[in-house]
Amino acid sequence: MNGEADRRANALALRLWLNCLATQEILCCYLGIQLGYYEALARGPANAAELAERTQTAARYTREWLEQQAVAGLIAVEDTSQPAHTRRFFLPEPHRHVLLASDGPLSRVAGILPVGAVAHVLPRLIQAYRTGAGLVDADYGPDWTQGHAGSNAAFYSHALPTIVRSALSRDHLLLAGKPTQLAEIGCGAGWATTSLARTFPNLSCIGFDIDPDMIHMAERHSADLGLTGRARFEVRDCYGGLPSQFDIVCIFDVLHELPKPVEMLGVARLACRSGGTVLLIDARTQERFQAPADEIERFQYTTSVLHCLPVGHAGENAQPTGTIMREKTVREMATTAGFGSFERIAIADRLHSCYRLGP
Ligand SMILES: C[S@@+](CC[C@H](N)C(=O)[O-])C[C@H]1O[C@@H](n2cnc3c(N)ncnc32)[C@H](O)[C@@H]1O
């Protein structure tokens, strides 16, 4: 290799080594979440034996995990000069916002769970890439679905009401304070539906999802918020249609992983009353393919390769888009599904785009 080729090969080798380190550290965080180490440390400083006692885990393993987390700067040590068995570790206050589960914007717990889910499914994924077969969410297990739902929780709880306000015209029923009915297709754990019901007292919502576990989570969530009368949930395969018509039909972060996205858009169109609106939120992507690309595009592509495209390939005659569903593709799908109007709504979010579709 000449000088320039040598420099580039070395830079790439270093970058991938650092990526291996980052992946291994994230998998250690996954262990910490699953074993309840972070939650237990949040109750106060502990040495390895004390944390093992709090979490019902093996002390020698716990010590290794604590030391790994400390050298990675994820947790802190009271006094590094203490012998290993008495050395005490703690979760610094700012790290609690990141390493403990919550719907706060900095919590990364929900985002780490799907990485563990992918680790479980890698052998099947390799097989799927060879045969072209699809996978289903159940193959990834609850870490994927719960992690995904949690990852969007902060966005739906805090940003969604503003997005919906800017997507609808001022004289829309909802903003005019008139009784409004909303349906959400693929509502997951119900974070979006409940956020909207909480914000708009004139709104009556129903969320549909094919996954009964998701519907149970959504029902619990709605009951916790005292919204049971106005935010209901139902298990339903929405390809079969919705049970009635609505003023607003939402499809939030679902379309790109469906085997038949155009068919689902058609379901949404038919479920709209005259004058009704379909609101779509999906993965933010660049307008066209560019390489190399920024971190957001790289994140969306890894999600597509590891989960969304394989899940979209499930079943007969699948025509998935994968996570990279650019505006031009969404517009074409909306036209094919029979919508007459299509508008992109400008929103200030790094990971999502929003569209309003009408008759
Ligand atoms: C990526 S999750 C999004 C969940 C939620 N909208 C959110 O953003 O957190 C996709 C959801 O669509 C649901 N889903 C997939 N196919 C469906 C179908 N045919 N009918 C209803 N829900 C479906 C899945 O069970 C899953 O909960």
DSSP for 49-68, please give it: HHHHHHHT--HHHHHHHHHH
pLDDT at site 171: 83
Give the closest residue (by CA) to ligand 1 atom 19. Answer: 237
Going from the Cα of 192 to the center of ligand 1, the distance in angstroms, rounded, reads 12
Question: Quick one: which atom of ligand 1 is closest to the CA of 151?
Answer: 9
269 alpha-carbon distance from chain centroid: 25
Give the closest residue (by CA) to ligand 1 atom 5. Answer: 188
What is d(CA 120, CA 47) in angstroms, rounded to the nearest whole number? 30
Q: Which residues have CB under 8 Å from 180's CB, separation 6+? A: 173, 174, 200, 202, 203, 204, 247, 248
Residue 218 in contact with residue 199, Cβ under 8 Å? no
Q: What is the mean pLDDT of each run of 10 residues along the chain (359 residues)?
A: 91 98 98 98 98 98 98 97 95 98 93 96 97 96 91 92 93 93 97 97 97 95 93 98 97 97 98 95 97 97 98 94 97 98 95 95
187 alpha-carbon distance from chain centroid: 12
Q: Is the CB of 149 under 6 A from ligand 1?
A: yes
Q: How many Cβ atoms are within 10 Å of 184's Cβ, its own excluded?
A: 27
Query: 355: phi > 0 → left, psi -120 to 50 → alpha, else beta; which?
Result: beta
Q: Is the CB of 318 under 6 A from ligand 1?
A: no
pLDDT at site 199: 97
pLDDT at site 83: 93
Going from the Cα of 341 to the center of ligand 1, the distance in angstroms, rounded, reads 24
pTM: 0.94
pLDDT at site 320: 93
Residue to substitute in 236, 254, 351 for testing ligand 1 pocket (most ligand atoms within 8 angstroms of CB): 254
What is d(CA 255, CA 262) in angstroms, rounded to the nearest whole number? 9
Going from the Cα of 300 to the center of ligand 1, the distance in angstroms, rounded, reads 17
| Phi and psi at residue 105, to the nearest 5° | -65, -20
| Phi and psi at residue 233, to the nearest 5° | -140, 150
| Tokens coding 43 | 């109750």
Q: Which residue has the tokens 């609505």?
A: 246
Going from the Cα of 280 to the center of ligand 1, the distance in angstroms, rounded, reads 13
Q: Is the CB of 208 under 6 A from ligand 1?
A: yes
Q: Is the CB of 214 under 6 A from ligand 1?
A: yes
Q: Is the CB of 283 under 6 A from ligand 1?
A: no
Q: Which H or E element spans position 181?
A: strand 180-185
Give the closest residue (by CA) to ligand 1 atom 17. Answer: 210
What is d(CA 91, CA 62) in angstroms, rounded to the nearest whole number? 15
In the chain, which ranges are continuous DSSP H helix? 3-34, 37-41, 48-55, 59-71, 93-99, 109-131, 137-140, 142-154, 160-167, 191-199, 212-224, 261-270, 295-303, 309-312, 327-336
pLDDT at site 250: 98
Q: Is the CB of 183 under 6 A from ligand 1?
A: no
What is d(CA 53, CA 47) in angstroms, rounded to the nearest whole number? 10
